[in-house]
Amino acid sequence: MKKAVAVVMVSVIVAVAFAAAGCGGDASAARSDMNKGDAALKTVEGRYTTISQRTTKLITEYVAGTNTERAGVRAQVGDIKGLLDQAAKGQEAARSEYRKILSLSGVPDYAKYAGLQIQVIDKLAKANAGIRAMVEIIQASSDSGQPPDVQKITALSEDIQALTTQIDALMKQANDLKVSKKLA
């Protein structure tokens, strides 16, 4: 009987040790959720590269007077808004995966990583809103024939640049954590 109790106690100690070390089911689930979130976020990053290029082209051409035709502006704005909508959906998919990690126990490093990535997503959402506001200013100008509010566009652009700097810092912090804690 003593031997059976000893075996049970050793099993309990081993199980507790693995849980404390982050091994087992929750760590495996956290890694899986992290990888899914990262994949969704990687797709979003690619969208923002395209969004940035197309928004810059639209604003530059419009302000220079080379593309002021209402139909052309509307088409470009519609394209950019569609990309922004796709990016927002991707952000929400990534957020959903990262939130799953926060509900797990015994995975503090994964939870910290998920928290950083959620902060990235929050800032991307603000950048998304800023870009949307800029292209709507251009569209309103095209529709009305009035000059665009360049000061407002400049302010929005500066806000987006600041968000980009913050996003880059958060992503570096998350990546450094992922590497140093061997989360991958």
pTM as predicted: 0.85
Question: Can you tell me the distance from the alpha carbon of 91 to that of 40, in angstroms, rounded to the nearest whole number?
Answer: 7
47 located within any domain:
yes
Rg (CA), the chain: 23
Q: Is the pLDDT of residue 7 over 90?
A: no
- Of residues 11 and 98, more confidence is placed in 98
User: Would you state the pLDDT for residue 184?
Assistant: 87
pLDDT for the residue numbered 14: 41
**Number of separate domains in the chain:** 1
* pLDDT at res. 59: 95
Express each pLDDT in 133-154 by its tens digit.
999 999 999 999 999 999 999 9
Contacts of 171 (CB under 8 A, 6+ apart): 116, 120
What pLDDT, on the 0 to 100 scale, is given for residue 24? 53
Residue 61 domain boundaries: 24-180
Residue 170 lies in a domain: yes
Answer whether residue 90 is part of any domain.
Answer: yes
Question: Residue 2: which pLDDT band, with cuts at 50, 70 and 90?
Answer: very low
- pLDDT tens across 76-91, in order? 999 999 999 999 999 9
CATH code where residue 148 lies: 1.20.120
Region 63-75 average pLDDT? 94
Q: Judge whether residue 20 has pLDDT over 60.
A: no
Does residue 127 surpass a pLDDT of 70?
Answer: yes
The string of DSSP codes covering the chain is -HHHHHHHHHHHHHHHHHHHHT-SHHHHHHHHHHHHHHHHHHHHHHHHHHHHHHHHHHHHHHHHTSS--HHHHHHHHHHHHHHHHHHHHHHHHHHHHHHHHHT-SS-HHHHHHHHHHHHHHHHHHHHHHHHHHHHHHHHHHHHH-SPP-HHHHHHHHHHHHHHHHHHHHHHHHHHHHHHHTT--
pLDDT digits (tens, 9 = 90+) for 89-116: 999 999 999 999 999 999 999 999 999 9
